[in-house]
Structure 1
Amino acid sequence: MFPAIDPVAFHLGPFSVRWYALAYITAFIIALPIARRLCALRPIVAGPRTVDDFLFYAVLGVLLGGRLGYVLFYRPLFYLSHPLAILETWKGGMSFHGGALGVILALAFYCYRRKLSFLGFSDRITVVIPIGLALGRCANFINGELWGRPAPAGWPGAMIFPAAGPMPRFPSELYEAATEGVLLLGGLLVAASFQAVRARPGLLSGLFLTGYACARAFCELFREPDANIGYLAGGVTMGQVLCLPMALAGAALVVHALMRPPVMTLFMSPGAEVGFVPESAAGPESETDSE
């Protein structure tokens, strides 16, 4: 049986603090120092204060993009007839693909304002996104939502979700936490530890997009499709459809990064935070030592 876990972690007077909200807060707390450290590694992208300032834009991108993505991708007809329900975020309804678009727009706007390398900065930010994915999926499990498809008899770990009927199902939320979260985070951190990878703007971002798309598409094989959409043509799900352009964009970024010369030197111009110039364009006095 699904463990009966109260979705409310604790109460503060008349206010209820839910595990889902704590997952987002904890993810930002953990991700911030890691992103600051990554931005400070050669080639340097930005100072710690720049990363701290971006936190506000990141929160807005995640919340607004995630909510609007769910509204547009999964239940457009319902919210068209019930527009005020868009504000009822406490009832659930967030889309990662929408949140990803929101963060991309926030990154583009912030980098434009601060004169930062968009790909260089996004490389450092996308590395830590799986932290939020892992904790968010764990919160989905605690809420008893986004459960899996019916599991074969004797499947290890299958459980009965009370809101989904009497059939044992895959705990797909935990599968997603492990693949989209833990495994993807580990792979990106290992890749980011190499200066040769960090020196190719767009490579880490491409690896993240491709890795997430593959992990999500795989986990969709175990996850029950949204009741209001169901299966699409050919038995695919909306989640898998949305992963296709993400995977293509990720692959394009990887190819673009590998075809361009590595960026190894730091360049600072008046009014700019931090920027990049290719190693071939820098004089010998600008070269940095290896780590």
Structure 2
Amino acid sequence: MGDAVRDVEDMKRLKLVADELHRELSGRLGRLIRLRTKLPLKESHTNGWRVELGSLGLGEPRLEVWYCEWAREGQRRLWYGFYAAQADKLRRRIAVLPESLRSVRQLNEKDMRLATGSRTDSVLKKPLGSSEYDRPIYEEFHESESEYSYFGQFGSMLPEDSENIRILVGQATGFFESVIKSRQPDAPPRESDREQDYVRVVNRHAVRQHLAREQDRLSVEHCLRRDQFRCQVCEMSFREVYGEIGNGFAEAHHVLPLAQLEESVVPSSQDLVTVCANCHRMLHRLGGEDGDISRLRRMFHRE
């Protein structure tokens, strides 16, 4: 594929992602952000393009999605995150995020170089490693007397087909939602309607901790994708049972017993397992014992 043809295809991919992401953000965060009505593609000066989706308010950080070679020259990757013309506005937000959303790497102008054969486009001197995809990265740059910054993630998947685009959009939406809805660590917890489903559990404080961990969208997205949206107890797939309406639908259950949950625990996809709604409720009725997943699996299969 020639460079010109590849560029046209890549611009189409970014436009598809941007349009889908705009729709998702409108449905989930429409009252919390100011979305743009038009989504033009602009050059990113990183061998690719970018789209401004909206902002957190006048003069506040912008929500953007990029498709470029910044992370690794020669291969474009999707990036989604926040841009701030004043770096301190992003630094303040990051300071109150939970550990699961903190940066795994920080970058600045010393980490970049001009792309091969270019006088305007930049890429990283040291490409990102595979473990750094799907993880938050903070970038801060100094230009004259100004400081601007970015906080976001590069996707490990390439937006080459509709399934990958759907997953990437889900991950990006989850990231934006988690960052925007994060509260100060000392803010009082809000009662959730979902908590009423677990009135049989005595330790309600532990339940609130448990639900907060289960709803960490980044970890959940990783868990569901890893398990291919298939219940790890009864092996049910919503897509196979209900068709297209069930595509990409499942729930995530925290495998650590409730009694073991501590404030210091940092949730990750390794702490979660994909389940259907029925098995999820049954797991909670078992009361949070070690080995509940295996126990319920034996009960279901009558082993």
TM-score category (smaller protein): under 0.3
Q: Report which of the two has the higher share of helix.
A: 1
Q: Which has the higher contact order (CA 8 A, sep 6+)?
A: 1
**Please, what TM-score do these two structures have when normalized by structure 2?**
0.27
